[in-house]
């Protein structure tokens, strides 16, 4: 909209001024100029405010729910309701419409899972491909989330005898940090300030999923196997999980300094150490992950409770809950029943257009009639989802384009965007926290083009290359990561987990 000066000074007024002898009077000319300038500035301000108002009409979609959410969170503190947020009542009445504090917590834990992708070095031209780009004490600083309120406790590594090219990333360099290990996630603990706000000390375990294509589903989806076959102390041999998940969780390579302990041993020993470190505090154990990481989160949560690590010395049971994103089915009906009996709470966030949560068990799953599932119970391909499902639909977001790319429907940042705009079934999509929509396109092409956010924009600056003193570009050396913390042998013996290392 252009400014029309004929609107500011009427044409007849200009003609009358020229005809009047006062037009040639300098004081009158100055005064007239001041009046016209004032009118021009006033009109410009009005137009500026109008433009601001127009731009704020779109935030009806983007920010319309922020005030209501802020008021609701002011009235109810998380420290007063954290047990309900973590599934104390199985989230009854909290999902439709969604509780604003629950939404904020889901996004927060989702971002902790997203950190596993943002920090992972998946560049095959890097000497450190397959590792974390940051040392543990600079992890949150490197990600720009130092105010997140957590202190990193340890890194997690995994190895496998299964060929998973889309999960295990390896460098093309002959001399690498490890030939058999990949960084898989981390364990962190809330600091004192966040602990006071949360109403308890929160131990969080975040798992990484796949970083490239989705062919890992075909690589892993094999058959069900009893969890007790890998020395997880389950009294029922009919409790079974997908064999590939179990292999990844329990495999180790004692010749490798990073994976001489299995992911299972790393987690159990660290959880034991942390629960012993805070014996007199209110604790929670929260697990989160996306895709394959969601399966690990459920499996490790089950293992923690089945092993009894969540029971304190004074017999208090520490609540164990899982916030999973776009996760596959993990085990059979018996696994689901055992998980519920142990009191593990699972909230699964899924996109209804995503294929990963529909597998494995495409034909024999929880959607079948109970009688038919009973007959198929013994089959090695009969699976069941666990916990409570929060189903989202990316077609409800006005910010996302229509695409048949399965990686977009599976993308974690897209899930967090959908969470931000979800208010309940049948409710209009309105961004509640104003979370930046540009984050959706970090690793995919999902935003509508008119938002001018380039697809796949997240990358390491200069792809990790730096200029040395001679003016040559090169890959810098990184500080050596610690492999495993001291005291693991002690905790392994306490847990009855034998290791010859």
pLDDT digits (tens, 9 = 90+) for 109-122: 999 999 999 999 98
Active site residues: 291, 354, 410
On whether the CB atoms of residues 333 and 300 are closer than 8 A, the answer is no
CB 98, CB 424: distance < 8 Å: yes
Q: What is the largest CA-CA distance in the chain?
A: 108
Residues 6+ apart with CB under 8 A from 268: 303, 304, 307, 309, 491, 495, 497
DSSP helix/strand/coil, 391: strand
Q: What are phi and psi of 486, to 5 degrees?
A: -65, 155
SS3 154: strand
Task: Give CA 281 to chain center in angstroms.
Answer: 27
Global pTM reads: 0.82
Average pLDDT, the chain: 83
User: Mean pLDDT, to the nearest integer, of 360-380?
Assistant: 75
Of 150-154, 330-334, 349-353, 494-498, the least confident: 494-498
Instruction: Give the strand pairing for 388-392 and 345-351.
Output: parallel
Q: Does residue 95 contact residue 331 with C-beta atoms inside 8 Å? A: no
Phi, psi angles (nearest 5°) of residue 33: -65, -40
Q: What is the mean predicted confidence (pLDDT) over 344-371? A: 88
User: How far is residue 226's CA from residue 230's CA, in Å, rounded to a whole number?
Assistant: 8
Q: In the chain, what are the domain boundaries?
A: 5-45, 65-395
Residues 381-429 have pLDDT tens digits of 789 999 999 999 999 999 999 998 999 999 999 999 999 999 999 999 9
Residue given tokens 């503190």 in the structure block? 77
- Are 387 and 320 within 8 A, CB to CB? no
- Long-range contacts (CB closer than 8 Å, 24 or more residues apart) made by 233-236: 233/306, 233/307, 234/306, 234/338, 236/334, 236/338
From residue 121, alpha-carbon distances to 36, 158, 183, 216, 462 in Å are 61, 15, 9, 19, 14
- CA–CA dist 143, 118 (Å, integer): 7
Instruction: Please report which confidence band the pLDDT of residue 285 belongs to, taking 50, 70 and 90 as the band edges.
Output: very high
65-395 fold: Rossmann fold (3.40.50)
pLDDT in tens, 1-45: 443 333 333 333 334 333 333 333 334 434 444 545 445 444 445
Indicate the DSSP class of residue 447: B
Please report how many Cα atoms fall inside a 13 Å half-sphere around the Cα of residue 233, on the Cβ side: 11
Say which residues have a Cβ less than 8 Å from residue 2's Cβ, sequence separation at least 6: none
- What percent of the chain shows pLDDT beyond 90? 54
Query: What pLDDT is attached to residue 183?
Result: 93
Cβ distance 132 to 183 under 8 Å? yes
287 or 142, which is more confident?
Answer: 287
């Amino acid at each position: 909209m252009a400014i029309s000066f004929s609107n500011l000074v009427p044409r007849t007024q200009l003609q009358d001024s020229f005809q009047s002898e006062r037009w040639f009077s300098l004081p009158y000319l100055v005064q007239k100029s001041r009046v016209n300038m004032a009118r021009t500035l006033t009109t410009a301000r009005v137009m500026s405010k109008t433009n601001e108002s127009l731009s704020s009409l779109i935030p009806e979609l983007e920010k319309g729910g922020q005030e209501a959410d802020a008021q609701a969170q002011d009235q109810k503190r998380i420290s007063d309701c954290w047990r309900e947020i973590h599934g104390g009542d199985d989230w009854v009445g909290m999902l439709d419409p969604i509780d604003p504090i629950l939404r904020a917590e889901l996004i927060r834990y989702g971002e902790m899972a997203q950190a596993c992708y943002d920090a992972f070095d998946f560049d095959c031209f890097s000497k450190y491909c397959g590792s974390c780009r940051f040392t543990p004490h600079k992890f949150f600083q490197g990600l720009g989330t130092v105010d997140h309120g957590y202190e990193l406790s340890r890194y997690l590594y995994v190895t496998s005898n299964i060929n998973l090219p889309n999960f295990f990333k390896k460098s093309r360099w002959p001399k690498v940090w490890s030939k058999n290990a990949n960084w898989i996630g981390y364990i962190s603990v809330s600091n004192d300030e966040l602990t006071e706000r949360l109403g308890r000390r929160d131990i969080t375990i975040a798992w990484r999923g796949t970083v490239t294509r989705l062919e890992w589903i075909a690589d892993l989806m094999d058959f069900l196997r009893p969890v007790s076959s890998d020395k997880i102390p389950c009294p029922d041999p009919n409790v079974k999980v997908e064999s590939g998940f179990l292999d990844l969780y329990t495999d180790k390579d004692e010749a490798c300094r990073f994976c001489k302990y299995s992911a299972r041993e790393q987690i159990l020993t660290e959880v034991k150490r942390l629960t012993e470190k805070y014996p007199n505090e209110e604790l929670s154990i929260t697990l989160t992950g996306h895709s394959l990481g969601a399966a690990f989160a459920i499996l490790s949560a089950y293992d923690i409770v089945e092993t009894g690590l969540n029971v304190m010395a004074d017999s208090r049971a520490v609540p164990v809950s899982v916030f999973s994103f776009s996760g596959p089915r993990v085990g059979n009906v018996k696994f689901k029943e055992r998980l519920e009996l142990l009191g593990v709470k699972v909230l699964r966030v899924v996109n209804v257009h995503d294929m990963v949560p529909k597998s494995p068990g495409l034909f024999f799953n929880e959607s079948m009639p109970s009688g038919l599932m009973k007959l198929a119970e013994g089959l090695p391909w009969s699976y069941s989802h666990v916990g409570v499902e929060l189903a989202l639909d990316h077609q409800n977001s006005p910010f996302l384009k229509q695409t048949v790319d399965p990686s977009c429907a599976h993308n974690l940042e897209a899930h967090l965007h959908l969470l931000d705009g979800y208010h309940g079934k049948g409710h209009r999509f309105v961004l509640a926290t104003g979370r930046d929509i540009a984050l959706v396109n970090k690793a995919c092409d999902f935003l509508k083009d008119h938002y001018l956010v380039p697809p796949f924009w997240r990358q390491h600056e200069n792809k990790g290359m730096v200029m040395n003193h001679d003016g040559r570009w090169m890959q810098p050396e990184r500080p050596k990561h610690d492999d495993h913390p001291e005291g693991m042998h002690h905790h392994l013996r306490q847990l009855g987990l034998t290791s010859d290392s």
